[in-house]
Amino acid sequence: MAKVTLKGYILVPEKDLQEVRRELINHRRLTLDEPGCISFIVTENAENPLRFDVFEEFVDRQAFALHQARVRASRWGQVSVDVTRHYEVFE
């Protein structure tokens, strides 16, 4: 089984920024508690406060798929619905 890595960034609409920042704390905790999560790092970009750099690693495609399903059904999924995602996924 191949490890899955996601790298990239999200752009948050200014109207959603405070709520995204607040919910990111819970989203990070829940993701790191998921079976198969190796790494989950989201940092606010120093040059652009609307950009958050994202790095995720999961043990395999199944763990990554379960993560994606949980995200869609979560509060984070609601809060980040208008976020623009710019990701690359590697196996």
**Which tokens belong to 60?**
């395999």
For residues 49-56, give the mean pLDDT. 98
- Name the residue among 51, 59, 46 with its Cα closest to residue 13: 51
Question: What mean pLDDT comes out for the span 22-42?
Answer: 97
For the chain, the structural domain boundaries read 4-90
Q: What does the alpha-carbon distance between residue 18 and residue 39 come to, in Å, rounded to a whole number?
A: 24
Query: Whose CA is closest to 51, among 10, 3, 90, 5?
Result: 10
Hey, CA dihedral for 52, 57, 60, 62, is it positive or negative?
Answer: negative
Query: What predicted TM-score, i.e. pTM, was given to this entire model?
Result: 0.92
- Was domain 4-90 assigned CATH 3.30.70.100? yes
Residue 17, pLDDT score: 97
What local confidence, expressed as pLDDT, does residue 20 receive?
97
Q: Is the pLDDT at 1 greater than 90, yes or no? A: no
